[in-house]
Amino acid sequence: MPKKNAVTSDGDSRSLPAYLAGTLLLRGRTRLMWTAVLLVAQVVFGLAIQQAVGHHSNAVIAPFALALAWMWGSVPGAAYSLSAAALNVLATRWMDLPSNVWWSITLDAVAVAVTAFLIGHIAKSLERALGARARAVHTVDQLAAQANERMLTITDQVPIGLYRTTPAGEIIGGNDALMRILGFDDKESMLATNVWDHYVDIDERSSKLHNYAAGEQSWNELALKQVDGTPLWVRDWAVAVLDENGEPLHFDGVLEDITEQRRADERFRAAFEDSPHGMAISTADGVVVRANAAIATMMGRSPEELRHLHYSAYTHDDELDVTPSALAKAAAGEVVRYEKRLQRSDGSFFWAMITLAPIKDPVGAQLFISHVIDVTDRHLVREALENLVRSKDELIASVSHELRTPLTVVHGLAQELDANWMSFSVPEQKEFISMIAQQSAEVAHIVEDLLVAARADIGKLPIHPETLDLRGEIDKALASVPDLDARLLDGAANPPVAFADPNRVRQILRNLLANAGRYGGPQVQVRYGGGDRAWLEVADNGPGVPPAEVAKIFEPYQRAHNAEGQPMSVGLGLTVSRTLAEMMGGSLEYRFHDGWSVFRLELPAPGAVHTGRAVRAERAAE
């Protein structure tokens, strides 16, 4: 049951004795009128009454004296009594009455005078007391009026609306802010309206009044309309004032205009939900309270699945300590940017750049908004650049090593011939020159591979295919590597004919033979054949490429292994060879079969359509 509120009226609340005393105290014209009546009555009826009572003056003096004392005070009443007694004494002496009579009259008059004096004193005291009380009541009323005026002034200066309404909807009080919120020009117009007219949903107010009457006290957001029909949103708080029966007398409340805030919320909601970038709102503990569709799609979950999810549930283990640090900085007012890996619903991870900023909810609680962008591609580019830099360093080291050996030989032999050429026989000089030519060719092959790789990357590598005898190109390639003990096996009765660039075919064969000599076994075989496509194979009986490394051997600057005692290679031979094969419309593949590592080159036969990378290369060269 709600607490009963005792209500008193604002009228006169004096007690009955005080009221009667104030009524019996005759003042002003009433006192003068009754005084005249008494004096006239004494003149007209006094002598007759005295004679009737046998010259006992107290029977006449007493009523008149006491009445005058009550009306005029103690002194007038006593003076009247003594004056009357003196006149009576003179009358008795004049009438020659016995002395005991005038003595009795005198004593009675004195007694009446004393009584009148006391009654007059009591009346004056009562008059002063009632006057003091009246002045106090007047002072209290003035103070209350001043306090009420000051209160009205204060409430009018409050920026939020204050109101008092009846259950029927009458506005019986309200400040200037309430007047402005409801769109009135003056308070009189506002007080003449009914609050029900300002509700968009009447049932909503009925429900709120019922809750207020039941003792509910909470903030509520309501849709209202101003006097001209303009819609607005308000935040309302009210309390019911009940009578002694628990029924609401009126409702006192506070009204705050939040229309602009609601519009801002709507704009934020639209920007949040429709943003192409991932956005989420979380608590200070890192629990998601709201997520938009973009971040849900990014993480392979629905917004409902993300809600109430702790950041640790979708953060990579290596970055779990990043979020608490970012939240602490954001709580201090900073806008924090950081990157971490987030986990999708399928278990995969992606790199995200997160911008974290603090915000407040409508009740002032601390929240944080996150702006999330998938930057996985940027990380891949960064890793690629890092790999490129690392490959560049390896390339420089490899090229330096690869070129140093043949250049050292060329430089040493040239110096020896230059200084002592007459001391060498012609066959020795020829051998020196042959070695210089061979090592120079090795340098030329390395440089050619580097140029092919560079030009192929930018689409500037020219290819000039023609009909060629594949067996003849194999012989030329074997002659360029005389130190390699390679066995040529006939693969067909008729030498196969291919449609390809002769220079590029020889470059491929040199790279395959060099690779076999550097990393292969002691036996190297070259086979060839024809059919729909011309083909050749370079095989060796070495250990082969580890299965896990097969995919890497055709990548730039990659080596499956480094053979002991062999110089470090650049790591471009196989990459360049496959690139050239594909640009000529062919292919280059690797397999390990029956203890042999086999590289198979296939080339288009004459009359084949020249397509693929070869066509694009020709167009780029043109």
Domain coordinates in residue numbering, the chain: 16-151, 158-257, 263-374, 381-441, 444-621
158-257 homologous superfamily: PAS domain (3.30.450.20)
Residue 335 has which token pair?
A: 């806008």
pLDDT band at 122 (very low <50, low <70, confident <90, very high): confident
Q: How big, in percent rounded to 5, are the helix, strand and coil portions of the chain?
A: 55, 20, 25
Q: Which residues pair with 170 in a beta bridge?
A: 194
Range 17-23 average pLDDT: 56
Count CB atoms within 10 A of the CB of residue 328. 12
CA–chain centroid gap for 619, Å, is 55
Burial 54-82 (b: 16+ CB within 10 A, else e): ebbbbebbbebbbbbbbbbbbebbbbbbb
Give the three-class secondary structure for 605: coil
| Residue at 478: amino acid letter | L
Q: Does the model's pTM come out above 0.85?
A: no
The end-to-end CA distance of the chain, in Å, is: 98
Rounded Cα distance between 107 and 94, Å, is: 19
544: left (phi over 0), alpha (psi -120 to 50) or beta: left
- Non-local CB neighbours of 170 within 8 Å, separated by 6+ positions: 194, 195
444-621 homologous superfamily: Histidine kinase-like ATPase, C-terminal domain (3.30.565.10)
Rounded Cα distance between 499 and 586, Å, is: 10
Rounded Cα distance between 88 and 11, Å, is: 52
Task: Give per-residue pLDDT as tens, 497-550.
Answer: 999 988 889 889 988 998 888 888 889 999 998 888 999 999 999 888 888 888
494: left (phi over 0), alpha (psi -120 to 50) or beta: beta
Range 358-370 average pLDDT: 81
236 near 254, Cβ under 8 Å? Answer: yes
Give me the helices (H) in 25-163, please.
29-53, 58-72, 74-94, 99-157
Q: What are the C-alpha distances in Å from 351 to residues 181, 285, 316, 335, 343?
A: 50, 22, 10, 20, 9
pLDDT band at 567 (very low <50, low <70, confident <90, very high): very low
For the chain, what is the largest distance between any 2 Cα atoms, rounded to a whole number of angstroms? 204
- The CATH class given to the 263-374 domain equals alpha beta
The reply to whether domains 158-257 and 444-621 share a CATH topology is no
With 90 as the cut, is the pLDDT of residue 604 above it? yes
CATH number of 381-441: 1.10.287.130
Percent of the chain, pLDDT > 90? 22
CA dihedral 215, 221, 227, 230 (to 10 degrees): -170
Residue 531 DSSP class: S
Judged on CB neighbours under 10 Å (0-12, 13-18, 19+), 48 is exposed
Task: Give per-residue pLDDT as tens, 371-390.
Answer: 999 999 988 888 878 877 77
Task: Give per-residue pLDDT as tens, 436-455.
Answer: 877 787 677 667 766 666 66
Q: What are the C-alpha distances in Å from 366 to residues 304, 312, 352?
A: 22, 20, 24
Residue 533 has which token pair?
A: 């496509």
Q: What are the C-alpha distances in Å from 323 to residues 222, 310, 327, 354, 378?
A: 38, 11, 6, 10, 21
465 near 584, Cβ under 8 Å? Answer: yes
Average pLDDT, the chain: 78
